[in-house]
Chains A and B, each alone.
Chain A
Amino acid sequence: MSFAALILRNVLSRKTRSILTAVAVAVGITTVVVLGVLTHSLKRTAISVLRTGTADFTVAQKGVSDVLYSSVDQSEVDQIRAQPQVESAVGVLVAAIGLDSDHPFFLELGMPPQDLMPFGVQIVDGRAYNADATNEIMLGYRAARDFHKSVGDTFTIEGTTFNIVGIFSTGQVFGDQASMMPLPTLQARERKPNTVTLVFIQAMPGADIDSLRKSIEHDMPELATVRTASEFGRIDRNLSLISAANVGVSLLALVIGAIGVMNTMIMSVFERTREFGVLRAVGWTRRRVLALVLAESLVVGLTGAVIGVIAGVVAIEQLGRVPELVGVFQPDYTVDIFARALGIAVGMAFIGALYPAVRAALLLPLNALRHE
């Protein structure tokens, strides 16, 4: 009989307790996986909005609760554009509306037609809308496909009917699922005159992007520049809060799981005191007893991790079907999330079993053998 076989045998000999402990670990791991995937996916969705087009970085109002609430005055766009290292600065107004139950989160992008090319928009069919047209719209090719629309058709948004004059591609899934219209038209619809949500900056070739960002933030302290997903929290506090909650819940899961494991392992060690006495009496070292208890806990923890990950994935798939999240939340599973779940499960098992294991290892053989 190998040591590993003995560990499994011991775990399986107390099926109910092992399963209940694994379930407790699994609940924690499910939470970690769901929150991890949710946070990561929302970040990815948000960052894909920022990365629409070919910008080097994006500028938005600092510290708003949601990036869509960002408000940048067009005069500030002109000020940015005037910076010596800026090749282009495209101000885009972004609005989100619920079209129907299948499309609860549909993006409208407002920008001048002359900025389409610098922004990286390619018109794949038809033409660009006119700068002052109030009833012309372009659809991203994915949106056109979803709605079975083509150039020449009409498209109705909140009671207003637009003529589809072009189909575009941005190279970003999020952008290609959106619509575009002249900036003044969307500003009027949203009652946000002379305002854009985001400014997409393309720097001159060879420009020092970091110094350019610093310069913009220095000149306009109410604005923040974002280049990577990890910086997104600077302009979107909601996502920062979700990220912080994710870390907090992970730690909480670790603590609660570890307490659950500890409770089980203390009970187990107490009940098996005589068994440990026998093992010590036949020559087992303290280290081997320690390893036995820790390894048994690890097996339970890893079983809980597997159950928790499966339950987490199932929960996430169900979450993706919630109408309010359709289009916003597209599950994105990364190795990091599962590695963190695994690490937390191992942490629960190890921290939870450490004290009971040390206690078992330090038992005096004779006292243990006399234990009733």
Chain B
Amino acid sequence: MNNADASHPAIRTIDVVKVFDGGLVRALDGVSLAVQRGEFVAVMGPSGCGKSTLLHLIAALDKPTSGVIEVNGQDLRSSVNLDRFRRNEIGLVFQLHNLLPHLTALQNVEIAMFSNGRGHGEQRARARELLQAMDLEKREHVAPPKLSGGERQRLAVARALANDPPILLADEPTGSLDTAAVENFLGLLQRIRQERHVTVLLVTHDTHVAAAADRVVHMRDGRIVSEQAA
């Protein structure tokens, strides 16, 4: 579904509402947001403000109660193959990394490429290339539990980029990292943007991380309350 039409924003949400528990919890209350191609947008706000929910809806991990979500001009409500969408259009990085502990670093990247039409050899070469880009080439046979927090996060980024997605979505990616690792991660993010022209939407509590973005969106009680250039 990779839509090459550059006239559309990479991500656009129009009046998105998401309620839980039969309407008792209104996580998103009419969120409209546009993220341009190649832009780095940070979403900030207190816990429970709906920023992670917004990210999950854009990642097609959940469906909005109402409203429109378009990614690369494609409305996710239409007959989009969401498996293919998640595989090819977005890369997801989680705070807790969500790596598979019984697989090696290399295998953790490779599993994201199943069904992408490439042969095993090509998948392995691509995984190695990404591990090298993340300075993990010497750790490819190490399982995640034996990697440091920073290494695990870089591995999670490598997996997110496995299918060369145009959009990277990161949910509190630095939440479990120390200061040095956060700096490394931000440097890595900038490098990825320059080399791969990836659009980044990042949810964070950390103002230092948000400061690295092109634009910061503030949320409260399920609404966007302000936007500012970083």
A residues with a Cβ closer than 8 A to B are 1-3, 6, 9-10, 13, 274-275, 277-286, 288, 364-366, 369
Check if B100 is an interface residue, CB within 8 A of chain A. yes
Q: In the complex the two chains form, is A3's CB within 8 Å of B114's CB?
A: yes
Nearest A residue to B124 via CB reads A1
Further 11 A-B residue pairs, CB within 8 A, beyond A1-B120, A3-B114, A279-B111: A1-B103, A9-B107, A278-B98, A280-B86, A282-B86, A282-B162, A283-B115, A286-B83, A288-B114, A366-B62, A369-B61
Expressed in whole angstroms, the minimum distance between the Cβ of A306 and any Cβ of chain B is 24
Pair B62/A9 contact, Cβ less than 8 Å:
no
- Show 10 A/B contacts (Cβ-Cβ < 8 Å), sorted by A: A1-B103, A281-B59, A281-B61, A283-B85, A283-B112, A283-B116, A284-B115, A285-B115, A288-B115, A369-B94
Interchain nearest-CB distance for A2 vs B (Å)? 5
Q: What residues of chain A lie closer than 8 Å to B56, measured between beta carbons? A: 366
Contact string against A for B residues 74-116, beta-carbon threshold 8 Å, 1 for contact and 0 otherwise: 0000000001111110001010001110110011001110111
Q: In whole angstroms, how far apart are the Cα atoms of A365 and B87 in the complex?
A: 13
* CA–CA, A338 and B25, complex, Å: 59
Q: Which residue of A lies closest to B107 (CB)?
A: A1
Closest 3 CB pairs of A and B: A283-B87, A13-B102, A282-B112
Question: 0/1 per residue, B45-87, Cβ < 8 Å to A?
Answer: 0000000000010010110000000000000000000011111
**Most chain A CB within a 10 A radius of its CB, from B61, B92, B94, B115:** B61
CA distance A288 to B98 in the complex (A): 19
* Alpha-carbon distance A295/B59, docked complex (angstroms): 29
- In the complex, residue of chain B having the shortest beta-carbon distance to the beta carbon of A367: B62
Q: Is B61's CB under 8 angstroms from A284's CB?
A: no
Interface SS of chain A: helix
Q: Nearest chain B CB to A75's CB is how many angstroms away?
A: 78
**Closest chain B CB from A148 CB (angstroms):** 65
Asked if A281 and B86 sit within 8 Å, CB to CB, the answer is: yes
Residues of the B chain whose Cβ atoms lie less than 8 Å from the Cβ of A1: 103, 106-107, 110-111, 120, 123-124
Flag if B110 contacts A9 (CB, 8 Å). no
Residue of A6, A279, A281 near B107 (CB, 8 A) is: A6
B163 at interface (Cβ–Cβ under 8 A)? yes
Name the CB-closest residue of A to B85: A283
Bound: A266/B209 CA distance, A: 41
In the complex formed, the residue of B with least CB distance to A285 is: B83
Chain B residues with CB under 8 A of A280 = 83, 86
Q: Which of A6, A274, A281 contacts B92 (CB 8 A)?
A: A281
Whether B87 contacts A366 by the Cβ 8 Å rule is: no
Cβ of B227 to closest chain A Cβ, rounded Å: 26
* In the complex, B12 has a CB within 8 A of chain A: no
B88 cross-chain contacts in A, Cβ below 8 A: 283
Contacting residues, chain B, for A365 (C-beta < 8 A): 61-62, 86
Which residues on the B side are within 8 Å of A364 (C-beta)? 61-62
User: Are A283 and B98 in contact, with the CB atoms below 8 A?
Assistant: no
Q: How far is the CB of A350 from chain B (nearest CB, A)?
A: 22
B102 touches A10 (CB 8 A): yes
CB of B154 closer than 8 Å to a CB of A: no
Task: Give, as a whole number of angstroms, the nearest-CB distance from B216 to chain A.
Answer: 25
**Minimum C-beta distance from A335 to chain B (A):** 35
Q: Which residues of A contact B111 (CB under 8 A)?
A: 1, 6, 279, 282
**Interchain CA distance A275-B98 in the complex, whole Å:** 8
Q: B159 contacts the other chain (Cβ, under 8 Å)? A: yes
- Tell me which of A6, A281, A286 has the highest count of chain B C-beta atoms within 10 A of its own C-beta: A281
In the complex, A8→B206 CA distance in Å? 41
Q: Report chain A residues within 8 Å CB of B159.
A: 282
Chain A, Cβ-Cβ closest to B88: A283
For residue B99, which residues in chain A have a CB less than 8 angstroms away from its CB?
278
Residues of B within 8 A of A284 (CB): 83, 87, 114-115
On whether the beta carbons of B86 and A9 are closer than 8 Å, the reply is no
Q: Residue among A1, A283, A366 with the most chain B CB within 10 A?
A: A283
Closest residue of A by beta carbon distance from B87 = A283
Judging by beta carbons under 8 Å apart, are B83 and A283 in contact?
Answer: yes
B107→A275 contact, CB < 8 A? no
A87 to chain B, nearest CB (A): 70
Q: Which residues of A contact B87 (CB under 8 A)?
A: 282-284
Residues of B within 8 A of A275 (CB): 100
CB distance from B198 to the nearest CB of A (A): 16
Q: Give complex CA distance A280, B87 in Å.
A: 9
Cα distance A365–B85 in the bound complex, in angstroms = 13
Residue among A2, A274, A286 facing the most chain B CB atoms (10 A cut-off): A2
Q: With both chains docked as a complex, state the minimum distance between the C-beta of A232 and any C-beta of chain B, in angstroms.
A: 53
Q: B84 — which chain A residues lie within 8 A by C-beta?
A: 283
Shortest CB-to-CB span from A309 to chain B, Å, is: 29
Nearest-neighbour CB distance to chain A for B7, whole angstroms, equals: 26
In the bound assembly, the distance between CA atoms of A358 and B103 in angstroms comes to 24
Chain A residue contacts of B163, Cβ below 8 A: 283
List the B residue with the shortest CB-CB distance to A3: B114
Q: Considering the chains assembled together, what is the distance between the CA atoms of A284 and B123 in angstroms?
A: 15
Given contacts A283-B84, A283-B87, contact A366 B61 (CB under 8 A): yes
Q: What chain A residues lie within 8 Å of B107 (beta carbons)?
A: 1, 6, 9
B175 to A: closest C-beta gap in Å:
15
Residues of B within 8 A of A288 (CB): 114-115
Q: Which residues of chain A are near B83, meaning CB under 8 Å?
A: 280, 283-286
Measured CB to CB, the closest approach of chain A to B8, in angstroms, equals 22
Interface residue ranges of B162-176 to A (CB < 8 Å)? 162-163
Distance to closest chain A CB from B217 (angstroms):
21
Complex contacts, A282 vs chain B, CB 8 Å? 86-87, 92, 111-112, 159, 162
